[in-house]
Amino acid sequence: MYTPHTPDERRAMLAAIGVERMEDLFADVPAKYRYPDLKLPPPMSEMEVTAEMQSLADANLTVQDFISFLGAGAYYHYVPAAVDHILRRGEFYTAYTPYQPEVSQGTLHAIFEFQSLVCALTGMEVANASLYDGATAVAEAVNMAYHVFRGKRPKAVLSPALHPQYLATVHTYYDASDREIVVPHEGDPTATPDALLDAVDDRTSLVMVQYPDFLGRVYDLSDLAEAVHARGALLGVAVNPLALGLLKPPGDFGADIVTAEGQPLGIPLSYGGPYLGLFATRKKYVRKMAGRIVGESVDTRGQRAYVLTLTAREQHIRRARATSNICTNNALMALAATVYLGLLGKDGLQQVAALNYHKAHYAAQRLAGLEGYELAFPEVPFFNEFTLKTPLPVAEINRRLLDYGILGGYDLSQDFPSLDRHMLIAVTEMNSKDEIDLLATALEAIAREAAA
C-alpha cells in the first residue's frame, strides 16, 4: 500500500547492501528483543478501515445533531468552505517546517500574514508562528516574563478567572520549579481583576488575566494595566480572538503579552484539538518570545522573500538555554486562521462578532426572565458567553435538556464547588433565535417540573 517495493526490488537492494535477508539489517538489535509478537489486529483494506472508522464516528452525537450552548474554551462557529479546501492542498499539509526558504515560500508567506493578522487583531507589535493551544500559550507567557527579568522576578500572578485548564497546565509546568505560580482567590473565579493587585510586588514578572474571562465577563483593563506597570511587572491577557472583532484589543489597554486559543478562527471542534495557540507581544521582548518567527527579506534574484529569523532563541540552536523547548507547533491550524481572517476581512469579522454579541445578549435577557433563573453578573458586560444561576444542579438540567435535543451549557460546579447551580452558556452565530427560545422554553419546563 504505502510501501512500494516488490519482492524482486527488495532482493536487489539487499544484495546491493551486501546482506542476504532483511533480518540481517537488524543484527545490531540484541536477539532477545528482536521481533516481538505484536498483538495488533490484521491489516485492513481502505474499504474496511473506512467502515470501521465511520462506525466509531457514528457512535458520537455531534453539535450538528444537537442545538449546542456549550463553550467554555471551545466554540462551535461557521467555517467557510474555502478554509478546508486550502488546508487540503498537499503542498501545504505535507510540507515540513520551512527551514529551507527556497522551497517553502508558500508556508513562510502565509506565516508572515498570520503574524500580521494576529497583531492587527490584538493590537500588539510582534507575534510568533503559533503555539499548541490557549493553555500552553499562557504557560509560555509565564516563561517569557520570567526570562524578560532574567529570573529576578520569579513570581507570576494569575487570575483565578483564567480557564481552569489553563491554570492547571501552568501548575503542571512550573509548580516544582523555581518559578512561583500565585493564583489569588484560587477556586473562586468570581473575583474581579483588581483583587489580584495585593499579590503583585517587586518579585512579580507577570500578571495574567483573561478577556473575556472564564465566566464570560469583560472588564476594562486600563486601570489594571496601569497598576501592574507601576509595580514593574508585565500584563498578559488571554483573549477570545473572535471577540476582538468587536471589543477593544488588549494592546489598547497597554497589555505586554497577548495569548489566545485560536480555535474560534476557522478551526473545527474536533473533540478538543488540534487547536491553535496565539502569542503576541511588544517588539522589545521579541528575543525572549517562544516559537518560530518569520521575517521579511530578499532573495538572490531581488525578489521579496520570507525566512525564519531570530532562530538563536530556539532549541535547535541554543539547546538547554533556549527560550522554550517548542519545536513542532500548530502551523496548519495557523494557516486555517489566516485563510479564515482573509475571507472574513474587516467587515466579516465585525459582523460575526456582532452576531455572537447580539444573540448572547438576547439569550441572557430571555433566560434571566425565567422563574428560578437569574444572571450571575447582571451588571458586567460579556461577549458571547455568560453565567446563569439555575434552580437545580446543572448536571440534572443538562440531562433533561438532552431530551429536547439541546446540549446545555458548561456545569461550573465541575471545577468550582462554590459555583454549584451555575451554568456557563455560550451563544454563537450558529444559534438561531428559535433555538434560543426553545432553550428558554425547555429551561422553564424543567424548573416547573422540578417544583411540582
Partner 1 sequence: MSETTIREPLLVELSSPGRRGVRFPEADVPAAAVPEALRRTSLPLPELSEVDVVRHYTRLSHFNHAVDIDFYPLGSCTMKYNPKVNEDMARLPGFAHIHPLQPEETVQGALAVMYYLQEYLKEIVGMAGVSLQPAAGAHGELTGVLIMRAYHRSRGDTKRNKILVPDSAHGTNPASSAMSGMRVVEIPSDDRGNIDLAKLKAECDDTLVGLMITNPNTLGLFEEHIEEVVQAVHDAGGLVYGDGANLNALLGIARFGDMGFDVVHLNLHKTFSTPHGGGGPGSGPVAVAQHLVDFLPGPIVEVVDEDEENGPTYGLVMPRHSIGRVKAFYGHFGVMVRALTYILSLGGEGLRQVAEDAVLNANYLRVQLQDTYHIPYNRLCKHEFVAEGRWEDAPGVRALDISKRLMDFGFHPPTNYFPLIVHEALMIEPTETESKRTLDAFVAAMKQIAREARENPEVLHEAPHTTPFGRVDEVKAARELVLTWFDWPQQG
Looking at residues 121 to 150 of the shown chain, list those that interact with partner 1 (rule: CB under 8 A): 121, 125-127, 129-130, 132-136, 143
Asked whether position 70 contacts partner 1 by CB under 8 A, the answer is yes
* H or E element at residue 253: helix 250-253
- Does 378 sit near partner 1 (CB under 8 A)? no
CA distance 99 to 311: 10
The least distance separating partner 1 from the CB of residue 445, rounded to whole angstroms, comes to 20
List the Cα angle 164/350/429 in 5-degree steps.
60
DSSP 283: G
Task: Give the nearer residue to partner 1 in terms of CB position, either 64 or 378.
Answer: 64
User: Grid coordinates representing 391?
Assistant: 434552580
| Near partner 1 by CB under 8 A: residue from 288, 292, 400, 422 | 292
- Select the residue interacting with partner 1 from 148, 157, 349, 446 (CB under 8 A): 349
* 442 contributes a contact to partner 1 by CB under 8 A: no
Task: Say if CB 244 and CB 238 are below 8 A apart.
Answer: no
Binding pattern to partner 1, positions 211-230, x when CB under 8 A?
-------x-x----------
For partner 1, the closer CB: 154 or 372: 154
The CA-based dihedral angle spanning residues 68, 264, 184, 123, taken in that order and rounded to the nearest 10 degrees: -150
Q: Which of 350, 369, 420, 450 binds partner 1 (CB under 8 A)?
A: 350
Interaction of residue 433 with partner 1, rule CB under 8 A = yes
Q: Does 261 bind partner 1 (CB under 8 A)?
A: yes
Q: Which of residues 33-52 bind partner 1 (CB under 8 A)?
A: 33-36, 38-44, 46, 49-50, 52
Judged by beta carbon, residue 272 or residue 369, the one nearer partner 1 is 272
Stretch that binds partner 1, among 58-66, 148-156, 197-205, 227-235 (CB under 8 A): 58-66
Q: What residues numbered 76-95 form the site for partner 1, per CB under 8 A? A: 76, 78, 80, 82, 84-86, 88-95
Can you tell me which of 64, 150, 378, 417 binds partner 1, judged by CB under 8 A? 64
User: Near partner 1 by CB under 8 A, which window of 195-203, 233-241, 268-276, 385-393?
Assistant: 268-276
DSSP state of 45: -
Phi, psi of 212 (to 5 degrees): -60, 155
**Angle separating helix axes 433-451 and 331-368, nearest 10 degrees:** 50
Interface positions, 178-207, toward partner 1 (CB under 8 A): 178-179
Which of 28, 150, 403, 452 binds partner 1 (CB under 8 A)? It is 28
Window of 8-16, 180-188, 385-393, 440-448 that interacts with partner 1 by CB under 8 A: 8-16
DSSP state letters, 130-158: -BS-HHHHHHHHHHHHHHHTTTSS-EEEE
For the range 64-68, what are the long-range contacts, defined as Cβ-Cβ under 8 Å and sequence gap of 24 or more? Answer: 65/405, 66/402, 66/405, 66/406, 66/407, 67/404, 67/405, 67/406, 67/407, 67/431, 67/435, 67/438, 67/439, 68/406, 68/407, 68/430, 68/431
Q: Is 438 in the site for partner 1 (CB under 8 A)?
A: no
Does 355 engage in binding with partner 1 (CB under 8 A)?
A: yes
CB of 234 to partner 1, least distance (A): 19
CA distances in angstroms from 98 to 105, 106, 127, 292, 330, listed in the order given: 8, 9, 17, 10, 13
**Which of 225, 256, 269, 262 lies closest to 244 in space, CA to CA?**
262
Q: What is the DSSP letter of 439?
A: H
**Cα distance between residue 166 and residue 397, in whole Å:** 27
389 forms beta bridges with 374, 422
Helix (H) or strand (E) holding 374: strand 374-375
Identify the residue among 58, 378, 403, 452 touching partner 1 (CB under 8 A).
Answer: 58
Site for partner 1 in 298-327 (CB under 8 A): 298-307, 309-310, 314-322, 324-327
417 near partner 1 (CB under 8 A) = no
Examine residue 333 and tell whether it contacts partner 1 (CB under 8 A): yes
Provide the sign of the torsion angle of the four alpha carbons 61, 65, 71, 74, taken in this order.
positive
Choose the binding region for partner 1 from 149-157, 185-193, 201-209, 337-345 (rule: CB under 8 A): 337-345
